[in-house]
Structure 1
Amino acid sequence: MLKRTIFLIIIITIFIQSSLSLLLGYEFKVGETLTYNIYAAGLKVGYQIIEVKGIKNINGRKVIELKGHSKSAPFVSLLYRLNDKWRILVDAESLKPIRIEKDMVEGKKSGFIIYEIDQENLKVIMTDVTNNRVKEIKAKNPVFDFISMVYKFRRDAALYSDIGKRITFDFLEPEKTRTVSFINVGESLIPNPISSKNKRNRTVRTIVYKQTKKPWIIFYVDSNEGHLPLKMEVEAKLANALKIQIEVELKKYKPH
C-alpha cells in the first residue's frame, strides 16, 4: 500500500509541477523536449520526458501532437513498476487536449485507454480498450492532463504572472476529473537545476505557485523568457501518519 501510494502521488504531482509555465504567443517547435527527474526522500525514483512530436491537420483542424513517457528507476521497479506512455492531441489555437491515449504499466496493472474530450460540452468519453469498457465523464471546467497543461500554461504565462492570480481547471484522473486551483504567491530565487558550469547560471528567479488546499503542492516556474517549469515540491502523507518529501526537477531541456 505504501509503495503504491507513493507512486500515485508522484504521477499526480508531476502534472502539477509541469502545469504552469507559459509564454503568451510562445511558438512550440517540433522536437522540443523536457526531461524531469523524480525524487522521494532525496532518492531518485523515476523520470518523465515530454516532447512536441509534430503538428498535424486532422479533419481540417490544426493540432499539436505531444508525447510523454513516465518510468520508474530500475531499483524501484523491483517493488512497483511504472512505465506509462502518452500521446496527446491538442487544439493548436486553444491548446486544450481533444484526444489522449495512455499505454500504461502501473504495478501489476497494464492496459490501453483512450480519452476523447469534448471541451465545449465539458464531457470526456473514456474507452478502456483492454477491457472493452466505455465510460462518460463529466467536467466543470476545461479539462487538461498533466502533459497538455505544460504547453497551455507556457503559452499563457503572462495571464498568471501577477501575485494573487488564481488558476483553476479540471485535472483528468483515470476515471474522473478533479477541480484544482493554484495561486501565484510571488517570486523566489532557487538553484537552477539545469545550470551550466558557468557560475552566472547557478540560480534563477522563479514565479511560485501554490495549491489552494491540501496537499500543499508548490512549484517554481522560470520567470525568464520560455517560462520553463523547473521544480515542484510536496510533502505527502502516507500510512501511519508517515510523511515523505517528493520533488520533481527539470534536468534537461532540448529546444528542438
Structure 2
Amino acid sequence: MTSATAGDYGWIRASSSLFRYALEAGYTLTLVRGVSPAELLRAAGAEPRGVCDGLDELIEQHQELIYASDDWAESVLAGACTVQGEGGDWTLALVFGGDLGSLRLMEALSAGTRAVSHASNGGKPMDFFHWYENGELRTTFEWAANRTGSTPDELNGVMREVGLNPTGDPAPDIDRKAAVFALADRLTGVRVTEELLMEAAYLTGEVPEEPAEEWESITIDITDAHGERTYVQLRRDQL
C-alpha cells in the first residue's frame, strides 16, 4: 500500500490544472485492475470513438458532444488508458459530466479483481467514493462519517491516515477531494498526477446514459422540531 495523503493531491485545485474543469463540470474517475481499456468500454456499452491524445483533447471532445446535443446529451464521453499500479496494469477511465453506468456494471468489472471510483457532480456539493472487491461493494460514502457497503469500517484506519475523519466532521484544513484521491491511491497503487492525465493516450467511447427508472409513487416523510410527523404517499395520478 502506498503512503499517499491529501497533500499529494493539492495540484487538483491549482489554477493551472486542467482537472479544475473536471471539478466544475462533474466527473467520475474509475480504476480497475487487470481489465483493459477496450474491455472496460465494451462492458459499458460504449460506441468507439478512437483515441485522443491528452487531457486537452479529451475535454475538447466532451465539449463537442455537449454542443452537438439539442437539449440533454443521451450519452457521455469516456476516456480510458492503461496505468501502472499495485499488482500490474490497471485501467483508468475518466468521464466528464456523468459516470460509466450502473452498479451492475461496476460489480461486473470488479469480478475477480478490484475497482475503485470517485466522482463529483460539479457545482453541487455531492462527492462520492466506491470500493468494489470481487464483485462486491465493500465501502461507499459521500461523507466519510456516513459509510455503507458490506465492510463499511474496513478502511477507517487508512481514511484517517489520508486526512478523512470516519467518525465526525472533516478537519477544516484538509481538502476532502484531495483526501479521496489519496484513498484511491492507497487502494490501487496508482498515483494520479497532472502529467499522467495530460499526456495519456485515451481510448474513447460514448457511453449511453441509463434511462430513468419508472416510478409509481413518492413518499413525503417529515418530522418537525416539535416531533410532529407528516407521512404521505402519493400515487403518480394524484400529482
Q: Please give the TM-score of this superposition, normalised by the length of structure 1.
A: 0.31
Answer 1 or 2: which has greater helix percent: 2
Q: So what's the TM-score if we normalise by structure 2?
A: 0.33
Structure number with bigger Rg: 2
